[in-house]
Amino acid sequence: MSMWEYANPKLFMGWTRPVLPWMFASAGVCLVVGLVWGFFFTPDDFRQGSTVKIIYLHVPSALMAINAWIMMLVASLIWVVRRHHVSALAARAAAPVGVVFTLIALFTGGIWGQPMWGTYWAWDPRLTSFLILFLFYLGYIALWEAIEDPDTAADLTSVLCMVGSVFAILSRYAVLFWNQGLHQGASLSLDKEENISDVFWFPLLVCIAGFVLLFVALVLMRTRTEIRARRIRALEARARRA
């Protein structure tokens, strides 16, 4: 039995049902532990004061906003190559979750930016490319909604996702060329000197784990919903024909 057989809709429904509550529970535990630890049991930064604590929402959601798109890209590729319906539905299910993460990242960034940079919004490369990513998500979802035939919709959105990925990366580097940044560089890379200190680092790791688990759980749940919706549509069509 290969791993692809888990993508069979019936098997998928079977193994996700017992797994889902555990996923949600562990996501909840990670988020509660990480956020409480981060908010109440870490010292204030000596320059940023308590505003530094928004990092526990901002960084994980920004990370997941990008990862959600990458996951959609992989799911689209699997759909185009192997025609697994669950894969297409998972890509569809991930898009709204990705939008919400993008919005959380943009909003928390703005809230943090007001006291720190003196402005909610600046046309900084990172901020701008996130806004563009948000637009890509909107177009992707709108295309899904606009097309009635599910297989056509899956095919077209997959192609859009692939082309969009190329252009999203292009935009990322184009805005770098256009404007020098206000946003700080990476603070989490493994090999750099200027990483954030361990006091902030461990609760942040827990929060990131929580966001990843939450994302996977939400996508699985939404995929199950999509599968059920499609079954209902098939049953209705059969009833109409009979």
* Residue numbers at the binding site for another protein (CB under 8 A): 132, 135-136, 138-139, 142-143, 146-147, 152, 155-156, 159-160, 162-164, 166-167, 170-171, 174-175, 177-178
User: Closest distance between another protein and the C-beta of residue 155, in Å?
Assistant: 4
Of the pair 109, 164, the CB lying nearest another protein is at: 164
Which long-range CB contacts under 8 A does 156-162 form with residues at least 24 apart? 157/76, 157/88, 157/91, 157/92, 158/76, 158/77, 158/79, 158/80, 158/88, 158/91, 159/80, 161/69, 161/72, 161/73, 161/76, 161/91, 162/73, 162/76, 162/77, 162/80
Tokens of 104: 């959380």
Of the pair 8, 152, the CB lying nearest another protein is at: 152
Of the pair 74, 111, the CB lying nearest another protein is at: 74
- Residue in 3, 45, 60 with CA at minimum distance from that of residue 206: 60
Determine the Cα–Cα distance for residues 5 and 1; give it in Å rounded to an integer: 7
User: Closest distance between another protein and the C-beta of residue 181, in Å?
Assistant: 15
Determine the Cα–Cα distance for residues 83 and 179; give it in Å rounded to an integer: 42
Of the pair 171, 223, the CB lying nearest another protein is at: 171
User: Closest distance between another protein and the C-beta of residue 140, in Å?
Assistant: 9
Of the pair 178, 202, the CB lying nearest another protein is at: 178
User: Closest distance between another protein and the C-beta of residue 146, in Å?
Assistant: 5
Of the pair 111, 131, the CB lying nearest another protein is at: 131
Contact 68, 194 (CB under 8 A): no
Q: Is 142 exposed, middle or buried (0-12, 13-18, 19+ CB in 10 A)?
A: exposed
User: Closest distance between another protein and the C-beta of residue 182, in Å?
Assistant: 17
User: Closest distance between another protein and the C-beta of residue 130, in Å?
Assistant: 12
